[in-house]
Structure 1
Amino acid sequence: MTLHVYRASDVHNAPGFVKAAGWIHPDVADQYCATSTRDMDAAATATSKSYSTPAHIGAFVEGRDGTCRWPGCSRQAHQCQKDHRIDFAAGGPTAASNLASLCQHHHNIKTDGRAFYIMDPFTGDIVWLFENGRWEYDEATGPLAPKAKNWVQSVGQAITRRRDNAHDDAKKD
């Protein structure tokens, strides 16, 4: 069984995030992360020659997206398909910068051509364009989304880190 626990590797005692369960205490994350890890920084920039999304790229996309990327849809990303924004057959890569989590219903709407999206390859933010000229904006909400990076530390940890950095800077002078 594979259980994806998203956790910062550069922050001591960081909490974890488990799909469909939410945030978990650092001690619990320690227990779950004991078997193997995947480098999500590498997965963020990886490309596959295959149409099928490899597990490490899929895990990153799910961690970035959080839910189906259709505006207002709350289906969890791990229950969604990985949609190639630019079709694979047209040369679109199987890479996080070209993939978005879409539930079956919304994937069908996109595939039918009733909606199209443009995705920022760095933030994962999406602008949906609809056939009637309307547009909507959607932000990635998963634990790996750039705007969600505050999750890696508590307020107490942030204060301690600032104090330690100030103390280290004072020693240098």
Structure 2
Amino acid sequence: MKHITINQAFIRLFALITLCFTAFSFTVNLGLDSYEIHLNKKLILKQNINQPLNLRVLQLTKANDKDQLYITYTHCNTKGVGTGRNIVIKDEKGNTLKKFGFADAATGSNLSMAIPAKELLHLEKLHANHELSIHYTAHELAKSEMLAAVQVK
């Protein structure tokens, strides 16, 4: 009798371990939205959305009128870019100063959103006494996401 009980205990333990491995192998792959900002081809900011806002300062001290700012925002739920994408420049009160709209990107195409640096430099001059920030909106987001504060000086 004891021999059968020991075998049943091992069978139950093996079944429990197998059930645990099976259950944990099908967990949802949750990730974070992330983005990169390049000035021309140089990476100047790479962030995950959960990182603190005080680290998100975009230094444009070396930018000139001919430069381009490229922003690539990747959504965790689609593993790609969103639809109805916009980059919005706001002041510290949340007022929209400039809105850049972008077409939906096809799979395998360039996913970046390009903004002329001269547009940001011009806004900085017009609103010198205000703090400017860059926000991203898309149909996949419930509200806009602040990407970075803009610092030109």
TM-score, normalized by the shorter chain, greater than 0.5: no
| TM-score with structure 1 setting the length | 0.20
**Structure in which a larger fraction of residues adopt helix:** 1
Q: Which has the higher strand share?
A: 2
More relative contact order in 1 or in 2 (CA 8 Å, sep 6+)? 2
Structure number, greater radius of gyration: 2
